[in-house]
Amino acid sequence: MNSSEGENGERPRALIVGHGDYAAGMVSAVGQITGRGGLFGTLSNRDLAADELTQRMRDAVHGGIDVIFTDLPAGSSTIAARRLLRERPELRLVTGANLAALLDFVFQGEGSDVQALERAAEKGRASITVLGGHG
Amino acid sequence: MTVELYRIDDRLIHGQVVVGWGKPMDLGFIALVDDELAASEWEQELYRMAVPPGMSVSFHDVAGAAVAHGAWVRDFRRGIVLTGDVATMARLGNALAGSADPLRRVNVGGIHHRADRTQRMRYVFLTHAEETALRALAASGVEVTAQDVPGAHPVPLEELLCHRGV
């Protein structure tokens, strides 16, 4: 897990988990735009069995992290996160997270509640548009 | 249609299965064979929620899968039979031996690191017992290959077992 502090010395408030370099890429993008990539820890599911992924996620979700963002709703990261939710019902999970959703989260205050995360998810959904193709 | 893939994958239902194989093969169903999962409604719900609309999933122990297998083969949809480990696939193969629809092909899709396993490929780690079980499947006439995603080259068992972490 990337637990380094961001440019503002912030401690991670959320964990991003997904395929390949999805999490690292998202943090890189958030950092480039806001300088606050340190709000996120990262974890890749690459080459991890389901049990090991769940254990690494369990180890990563501590010390103030109470939100998990994952990429695919059908992915192993999401399934592992849902297992953790059973152990720790206070955790919150946002699936299908994209950059717009993460940026909205960055500017939420400490202790984002479910309503705030739903707003972030809506920002993410609303950011997906298809343009052109009519000519 | 038929069962398109008999896959061993310790992540069971996940992105590679649902999207990587599911989309290009136009999969209609997943038959998940796992004795523990078949007995756990909560675990089943976990995986059920990972299956997209238009695709169904059913859960079976090995004995139940052997009974249901003929119906899967004759289902009008394309499907995957999925196990989480070599032993379960080997037991299914044994249960189907001599039936009208024996096991003919096995895809080793993902068996990940564990302390007692040797790495054979990036996504395949095997114990000695697992290697023996795969060899036994092959000796019984089952084509065993390793392939994580559809675009990858299928690696035959003998070649797989010569690999050392490549």
Residue of B nearest to A47 (CA): B123
Is B46's CB within 8 Å of A73's CB? no
What are the pLDDT digits (tens) for A19-56? 999 999 999 999 999 999 999 999 999 999 999 999 99
Query: What pLDDT does residue A134 have?
Result: 83
Instruction: Give tens-digit pLDDT for B58-109.
Output: 999 999 999 999 999 999 999 999 999 999 999 999 999 999 999 999 999 9
Which chain B residue's Cα is nearest to A78? B50
Query: What ipTM did this prediction achieve?
Result: 0.76
Task: Say if the Cβ atoms of A74 and B51 lie within 8 Å.
Answer: yes
User: What percentage of residues in chain B have a pLDDT greater than 70?
Assistant: 98
- Model confidence at A76: pLDDT above 70: yes
Contact A74 B12 (CB under 8 A): no
pLDDT, tens only, B127-159: 999 999 999 999 999 999 999 999 999 999 999
Q: What is the DSSP letter of A39?
A: G
Q: Which amino acid, B109?
A: G
User: What are the structural domain ranges in chain B?
Assistant: 3-162
Residue among B19, B51, B112 whose CB faces A48 most closely: B112
Closest CB from A47, A74, A86 relative to B14: A74
Residues of B in contact with A79 (CB under 8 A): 11, 13-14, 46-47, 50
- Res B38 pLDDT > 50: yes
- Is B3-162 CATH 3.40.50.1970? no
Determine, for residues B15 and A52 on separate chains, whether the beta-carbon distance falls below 8 Å.
Answer: no
d(CA B129, CA B38) in angstroms, rounded, equals 24
Query: Biggest alpha carbon distance in chain A?
Result: 53
Provide the residue range defining the domain that includes A40: 14-126
**Residue A1 maps to a domain:** no
pLDDT of residue B137: 97
Residues of A in contact with B12 (CB under 8 A): 50
pTM for the whole structure: 0.85
What pLDDT score does B67 carry? 97
**Number of structural domains in chain A:** 1
Q: Contact B15/A75, CB-based, under 8 Å?
A: yes
What value does the mean pLDDT of chain A take? 90
Helices (H), chain B: 15, 22-25, 35-38, 41-48, 62-73, 86-96, 128-139, 157-162
Chain A residue with CA closest to B47: the answer is: A79
The CA distance from A39 to B54, in Å, is 37
Inside any domain, residue A49: yes
Give the domain CATH number at A25.
3.40.50.510
Q: Give the DSSP letter string of A10-21.
A: PPP-EEEEESTT
Query: Which residues of chain B have a Cβ shorter than 8 Å from any chain A Cβ?
Result: 10-15, 18-19, 42, 46-47, 49-52, 110-114, 122-123
Instruction: Give the closest-approach CA distance of A56 to chain B in angstroms.
Output: 14
Establish if A133 belongs to a structural domain: no
pLDDT of res. A2: 45
Q: How many CB atoms lie within 10 A of CB A109?
A: 8
| Cβ–Cβ pairs < 8 A, chains A and B | 50
Q: Which two tokens stand for residue B134?
A: 């795969």
The continuous run of DSSP H or E covering A115 comes out as helix A114-126
